[in-house]
Structure 1
Amino acid sequence: MSKPNHPRTLADSEAEAVLRNLRCSPRKLNVVAASIRNKPAGKAVADLTFSKRRIAKDVKKALESAIANAENNHQLDVDRLVVTTADVGRSIVMRRFHARGRGRAARVEKWFSHLRIVVAERDIETKADRRARRAAAKPAASASPAANEGVPA
Protein backbone atom coordinates (compact mmCIF):
# COMPACT_ATOMS: atom_id res chain seq x y z
CA MET A 1 0.00 0.00 0.00
CA SER A 2 1.11 3.53 -0.65
CA LYS A 3 1.02 6.39 1.79
CA PRO A 4 -2.07 8.60 1.77
CA ASN A 5 -1.81 11.96 0.03
CA HIS A 6 -1.15 14.98 2.19
CA PRO A 7 -4.01 17.45 2.39
CA ARG A 8 -3.49 20.67 0.46
CA THR A 9 -2.01 23.36 2.72
CA LEU A 10 -2.80 26.27 0.42
CA ALA A 11 -6.19 27.78 -0.34
CA ASP A 12 -7.95 26.90 -3.58
CA SER A 13 -7.06 30.30 -5.02
CA GLU A 14 -3.31 29.88 -4.41
CA ALA A 15 -0.41 28.15 -6.14
CA GLU A 16 3.24 27.83 -5.19
CA ALA A 17 6.69 27.07 -6.51
CA VAL A 18 9.72 26.09 -4.45
CA LEU A 19 13.40 26.38 -5.34
CA ARG A 20 15.83 24.55 -3.14
CA ASN A 21 19.57 24.96 -2.69
CA LEU A 22 20.05 28.19 -4.58
CA ARG A 23 23.69 29.24 -4.55
CA CYS A 24 23.10 32.62 -2.97
CA SER A 25 23.11 33.76 0.62
CA PRO A 26 19.67 34.14 2.20
CA ARG A 27 20.43 37.77 3.00
CA LYS A 28 21.06 38.66 -0.65
CA LEU A 29 18.16 36.57 -1.91
CA ASN A 30 15.76 38.23 0.54
CA VAL A 31 16.50 41.63 -1.02
CA VAL A 32 15.19 40.39 -4.37
CA ALA A 33 12.29 38.50 -2.78
CA ALA A 34 11.22 41.62 -0.88
CA SER A 35 11.07 43.56 -4.14
CA ILE A 36 8.27 41.32 -5.50
CA ARG A 37 6.15 40.71 -2.39
CA ASN A 38 2.53 41.90 -2.64
CA LYS A 39 2.92 42.91 -6.29
CA PRO A 40 0.82 41.77 -9.24
CA ALA A 41 2.53 38.82 -10.90
CA GLY A 42 3.01 40.59 -14.24
CA LYS A 43 4.69 43.59 -12.61
CA ALA A 44 6.87 41.30 -10.49
CA VAL A 45 8.09 39.44 -13.60
CA ALA A 46 8.87 42.76 -15.29
CA ASP A 47 10.79 44.00 -12.24
CA LEU A 48 12.84 40.80 -12.10
CA THR A 49 13.56 40.93 -15.83
CA PHE A 50 15.27 44.30 -15.49
CA SER A 51 16.89 43.73 -12.09
CA LYS A 52 20.67 43.99 -11.95
CA ARG A 53 20.99 41.26 -9.33
CA ARG A 54 22.39 37.92 -10.52
CA ILE A 55 19.92 35.87 -8.48
CA ALA A 56 16.94 37.71 -10.00
CA LYS A 57 17.06 35.33 -12.98
CA ASP A 58 16.46 32.32 -10.72
CA VAL A 59 13.74 34.11 -8.76
CA LYS A 60 12.05 34.97 -12.06
CA LYS A 61 12.10 31.29 -13.07
CA ALA A 62 10.48 30.34 -9.78
CA LEU A 63 7.83 33.04 -10.17
CA GLU A 64 7.05 31.93 -13.72
CA SER A 65 6.77 28.36 -12.45
CA ALA A 66 4.29 29.45 -9.77
CA ILE A 67 2.27 31.32 -12.40
CA ALA A 68 2.27 28.25 -14.65
CA ASN A 69 1.19 26.05 -11.73
CA ALA A 70 -1.67 28.44 -11.00
CA GLU A 71 -2.81 28.43 -14.61
CA ASN A 72 -2.38 24.75 -15.47
CA ASN A 73 -2.92 22.91 -12.19
CA HIS A 74 -5.43 25.15 -10.41
CA GLN A 75 -7.18 26.93 -13.33
CA LEU A 76 -6.57 30.41 -11.92
CA ASP A 77 -6.74 33.62 -13.96
CA VAL A 78 -3.18 34.74 -14.72
CA ASP A 79 -4.15 38.41 -15.01
CA ARG A 80 -5.47 38.48 -11.42
CA LEU A 81 -2.47 36.81 -9.74
CA VAL A 82 -0.62 38.57 -6.93
CA VAL A 83 2.60 37.43 -5.22
CA THR A 84 1.36 36.90 -1.67
CA THR A 85 4.49 35.41 -0.13
CA ALA A 86 8.12 35.08 -1.13
CA ASP A 87 9.81 33.21 1.71
CA VAL A 88 13.57 32.80 1.92
CA GLY A 89 15.16 30.17 4.12
CA ARG A 90 18.62 28.92 4.97
CA SER A 91 20.01 25.80 3.40
CA ILE A 92 23.45 24.25 3.72
CA VAL A 93 26.67 26.17 4.21
CA MET A 94 29.70 24.89 2.34
CA ARG A 95 32.88 25.65 4.21
CA ARG A 96 36.16 26.11 2.41
CA PHE A 97 39.55 27.31 3.57
CA HIS A 98 41.56 30.13 2.12
CA ALA A 99 45.33 30.16 2.66
CA ARG A 100 46.54 33.19 4.58
CA GLY A 101 49.92 34.48 5.58
CA ARG A 102 52.25 32.81 8.07
CA GLY A 103 50.78 29.35 7.51
CA ARG A 104 47.31 30.19 8.74
CA ALA A 105 43.95 29.56 7.11
CA ALA A 106 40.72 31.55 6.98
CA ARG A 107 37.32 29.96 6.64
CA VAL A 108 35.20 30.89 3.61
CA GLU A 109 31.49 30.14 3.95
CA LYS A 110 29.41 29.57 0.83
CA TRP A 111 25.75 29.95 1.75
CA PHE A 112 22.83 28.27 0.01
CA SER A 113 19.15 29.24 0.26
CA HIS A 114 15.62 27.99 -0.26
CA LEU A 115 12.92 30.08 -1.94
CA ARG A 116 9.14 29.58 -1.77
CA ILE A 117 6.83 31.77 -3.84
CA VAL A 118 3.05 31.71 -3.42
CA VAL A 119 0.74 33.46 -5.87
CA ALA A 120 -2.95 34.01 -5.21
CA GLU A 121 -5.85 35.11 -7.35
CA ARG A 122 -7.15 38.50 -6.21
CA ASP A 123 -8.82 41.56 -7.61
CA ILE A 124 -5.97 43.88 -8.52
CA GLU A 125 -6.65 47.43 -7.43
CA THR A 126 -5.64 50.10 -9.93
CA LYS A 127 -4.60 53.66 -9.11
CA ALA A 128 -8.00 54.95 -10.21
CA ASP A 129 -9.71 52.50 -7.83
CA ARG A 130 -7.49 53.66 -4.97
CA ARG A 131 -8.22 57.33 -5.68
CA ALA A 132 -11.96 56.65 -5.74
CA ARG A 133 -11.77 54.74 -2.45
CA ARG A 134 -9.77 57.53 -0.79
CA ALA A 135 -12.15 60.18 -2.11
CA ALA A 136 -15.11 58.26 -0.70
CA ALA A 137 -13.39 57.97 2.69
CA LYS A 138 -12.36 61.64 2.84
CA PRO A 139 -15.81 63.22 3.41
CA ALA A 140 -16.47 60.78 6.24
CA ALA A 141 -13.19 61.75 7.89
CA SER A 142 -13.85 65.47 7.55
CA ALA A 143 -17.36 65.11 9.01
CA SER A 144 -16.11 63.68 12.29
CA PRO A 145 -14.22 66.83 13.49
CA ALA A 146 -17.33 68.94 12.80
CA ALA A 147 -19.32 66.74 15.15
CA ASN A 148 -16.78 67.36 17.94
CA GLU A 149 -16.67 71.18 17.67
CA GLY A 150 -18.36 71.80 21.02
CA VAL A 151 -16.04 69.44 22.88
CA PRO A 152 -12.87 71.09 24.27
CA ALA A 153 -9.61 69.47 23.27
Structure 2
Amino acid sequence: MQSTAKLRAARISAQKARLVADLVRGKHVEEAIEVLSFTNKKAASIILKLLNAAIANAENNRGANIDELYIAEIYIGEGMTMKRFSARAKGRGNRIFKRTSNIFLRVQERY
Protein backbone atom coordinates (compact mmCIF):
# COMPACT_ATOMS: atom_id res chain seq x y z
CA MET A 1 0.00 0.00 0.00
CA GLN A 2 1.47 3.35 -0.96
CA SER A 3 0.45 6.91 -0.30
CA THR A 4 1.76 10.28 -1.42
CA ALA A 5 1.95 13.86 -0.24
CA LYS A 6 2.96 16.92 -2.28
CA LEU A 7 3.93 20.44 -1.35
CA ARG A 8 4.22 23.08 -4.03
CA ALA A 9 5.94 26.46 -3.77
CA ALA A 10 7.72 25.79 -0.48
CA ARG A 11 9.79 28.90 0.32
CA ILE A 12 13.17 27.21 0.32
CA SER A 13 15.57 26.62 -2.52
CA ALA A 14 15.61 23.12 -3.96
CA GLN A 15 19.36 22.81 -3.42
CA LYS A 16 19.02 23.36 0.34
CA ALA A 17 16.01 21.07 0.65
CA ARG A 18 17.75 18.23 -1.21
CA LEU A 19 20.42 18.09 1.52
CA VAL A 20 17.75 17.14 4.06
CA ALA A 21 15.88 14.83 1.68
CA ASP A 22 19.04 12.78 1.19
CA LEU A 23 19.16 12.12 4.94
CA VAL A 24 15.80 10.31 5.03
CA ARG A 25 15.48 8.69 1.60
CA GLY A 26 14.71 4.96 1.96
CA LYS A 27 14.48 5.01 5.75
CA HIS A 28 11.76 3.61 7.97
CA VAL A 29 9.15 6.23 8.92
CA GLU A 30 9.94 6.25 12.65
CA GLU A 31 13.65 6.64 12.00
CA ALA A 32 12.99 9.43 9.48
CA ILE A 33 10.82 11.34 11.98
CA GLU A 34 13.58 11.03 14.55
CA VAL A 35 16.26 12.28 12.13
CA LEU A 36 14.13 15.21 10.91
CA SER A 37 13.12 16.35 14.39
CA PHE A 38 16.79 16.69 15.42
CA THR A 39 18.11 18.17 12.17
CA ASN A 40 18.88 21.86 12.49
CA LYS A 41 17.77 22.97 9.01
CA LYS A 42 14.74 24.91 7.79
CA ALA A 43 13.89 22.18 5.30
CA ALA A 44 13.70 19.56 8.06
CA SER A 45 10.54 21.03 9.58
CA ILE A 46 8.92 21.37 6.13
CA ILE A 47 9.68 17.76 5.19
CA LEU A 48 8.59 16.53 8.63
CA LYS A 49 5.14 18.11 8.16
CA LEU A 50 4.90 16.55 4.71
CA LEU A 51 5.93 13.15 6.07
CA ASN A 52 3.25 13.33 8.76
CA ALA A 53 0.69 14.18 6.07
CA ALA A 54 1.77 11.19 3.97
CA ILE A 55 1.52 8.91 7.01
CA ALA A 56 -1.98 10.20 7.78
CA ASN A 57 -2.99 9.67 4.14
CA ALA A 58 -1.71 6.10 4.24
CA GLU A 59 -3.49 5.33 7.50
CA ASN A 60 -6.85 6.98 6.83
CA ASN A 61 -7.29 6.58 3.08
CA ARG A 62 -5.50 3.29 2.42
CA GLY A 63 -5.74 1.52 5.79
CA ALA A 64 -1.99 0.92 5.90
CA ASN A 65 -0.09 -0.30 8.94
CA ILE A 66 2.08 2.57 10.19
CA ASP A 67 4.71 0.25 11.63
CA GLU A 68 5.49 -1.14 8.17
CA LEU A 69 5.85 2.20 6.31
CA TYR A 70 9.09 3.48 4.83
CA ILE A 71 9.94 6.41 2.56
CA ALA A 72 9.90 4.84 -0.89
CA GLU A 73 10.52 8.01 -2.84
CA ILE A 74 11.27 11.64 -2.10
CA TYR A 75 12.36 14.16 -4.65
CA ILE A 76 12.55 17.91 -4.77
CA GLY A 77 12.20 19.99 -7.89
CA GLU A 78 12.53 23.68 -8.48
CA GLY A 79 9.37 25.70 -8.25
CA MET A 80 8.70 29.20 -9.44
CA THR A 81 11.26 31.91 -8.77
CA MET A 82 10.09 35.30 -7.53
CA LYS A 83 12.25 38.07 -8.91
CA ARG A 84 12.81 41.20 -6.85
CA PHE A 85 15.07 44.23 -7.12
CA SER A 86 17.25 45.83 -4.50
CA ALA A 87 18.29 49.47 -4.85
CA ARG A 88 22.01 50.11 -5.29
CA ALA A 89 24.14 53.19 -5.75
CA LYS A 90 23.88 55.57 -8.72
CA GLY A 91 20.36 54.51 -9.69
CA ARG A 92 21.24 50.90 -10.32
CA GLY A 93 19.48 47.81 -9.07
CA ASN A 94 20.50 44.27 -8.20
CA ARG A 95 18.30 41.27 -8.84
CA ILE A 96 17.22 39.10 -5.93
CA PHE A 97 15.89 35.64 -6.67
CA LYS A 98 13.51 34.19 -4.09
CA ARG A 99 13.50 30.54 -5.01
CA THR A 100 10.81 27.99 -4.20
CA SER A 101 10.66 24.22 -4.48
CA ASN A 102 8.13 21.50 -5.12
CA ILE A 103 8.45 18.52 -2.76
CA PHE A 104 7.01 15.07 -3.52
CA LEU A 105 7.04 12.28 -0.92
CA ARG A 106 5.75 8.72 -1.24
CA VAL A 107 5.52 6.20 1.61
CA GLN A 108 4.99 2.51 1.08
CA GLU A 109 4.51 -0.59 3.20
CA ARG A 110 7.45 -2.96 3.47
CA TYR A 111 6.45 -6.59 3.55
User: Same fold by TM-score, threshold 0.5 exceeded?
Assistant: yes
Deviant stretches of 4+, over 4 Å: none
| Structure 2 residue 102 is matched with structure 1 residue 114 | yes
Amino acid at match of 2:28: P
Partner of 2:33: 45
TM (norm. structure 1) is 0.70
| Structure 2 residue 20 is matched with structure 1 residue 28 | no
- If asked which structure has higher relative contact order (CA below 8 Å, sep 6+), I would say 2
Unmatched 5+ residue regions in structure 2? none
Q: Percent identity?
A: 36
For residue 78 of structure 1, the aligned residue among 61, 66, 75 is 66
Cα drift, residue 103 of structure 1: 2.1
Unmatched 5+ residue regions in structure 1? 1-12, 124-153
Amino acid at match of 2:47: V
The structure with the larger Rg is 1
* Matched pairs, number: 111
For residue 93 of structure 1, the aligned residue among 53, 76, 81 is 81
Cα drift, residue 55 of structure 1: 2.0
Describe the superposition over 1:85-143 as per-residue Cα deviations: whole angstroms up to 9, x where unpaired: 111111110001111223211100000111010001004xxxxxxxxxxxxxxxxxxxx
TM (norm. structure 2) is 0.95
Q: Return the alpha-carbon distance in structure 1 between the equivalents of residues 34 and 65 of structure 2.
A: 18
